[in-house]
Amino acid sequence: MFFPAPAPKKTDEGSEAKLNELRHRRLATTLGLVLLALFLVLLVWLILLPSKPTFVLQDATVFAFNLSAANALTTTVQVTLAARNSNERIGIFYDSLEFYAAYRGEQITAPALLPPAYQGRKETAVWSPFLHGDAVPLAPEIGVALGQDLLAGTPMVNMVVRSKIRWKVGSFVSGAYHLYVNCAAFMNSGSRRSGRGGGEAAITYQFFVDCRVDV
């Protein structure tokens, strides 16, 4: 004998509907709180509006800067750069620090890698890496230009810094931004001293020039 299934009770349907409504409310509340938190972080970020760090090339001590007849350049130089975080409420994480020298857009030294660093509010950091390139081949036109600059006594070498930085506001830390710093160093500019840290062959050029900073 066939017995039809009993119809669902209205009370069960009502309980299920109330449970679904409660779930939807909880989900909407959670999403609302998340959006509110993101909005507050963005609002604080826009109010503070972090300023990019400033870099100053202080000096460069040249131990070797020799161009061979085969357009191969050997370079050994120690540079001193100072970075200033001018923000009053924002710190800066440097996740990586890479220094190298370039001439007319061509990299002439191997990159010097420094460990990650944190720069607090209104703090100044100073780095003095050694940059070295051993018989780095140059393009023919670059070699000719460098030879002419050396004869004229006016070679300009660019000291370059690359990094990935993050901003810190309270406990909030932003995503990573690419930092590119370019410092023009005219080897005949500024005061010039011999023998600092490298014997009579070493020449120190003092610059104290502002660098171009892109974030």
Q: How many residues are recorded in the chain?
A: 215
> For 81-140, how does the pLDDT look when each residue is reduced to its tens digit (9 = 90+)?
999 999 988 999 999 899 999 999 999 999 999 999 999 999 999 999 999 999 999 999
**Nearest by Cα to 50 from 83, 87, 84:** 87
Q: Is residue 196's pLDDT more than 80?
A: no
Alpha helices in the chain (DSSP H): 10-48, 140-152
CA R_g for the chain: 30
The amino acid at residue 97 is L
Here the tokens at position 180 are 């590119």
Pairing state of beta strands 130-137 and 112-114? unpaired
**Confidence tier at 49 by pLDDT (50, 70, 90):** confident
Residue-level pLDDT at 4: 58
- Mean local confidence (pLDDT), 7-14: 58
* Mean pLDDT, all residues of the chain: 85
Beta strands in the chain (DSSP E): 54-67, 72-84, 91-103, 106-107, 112-114, 117-119, 124-127, 130-137, 156-169, 172-173, 177-186, 192-194, 203-210, 212-214
**Confidence tier at 179 by pLDDT (50, 70, 90):** very high
pTM summary value: 0.74
Phi–psi pair at 170, nearest 5 degrees: 65, -125
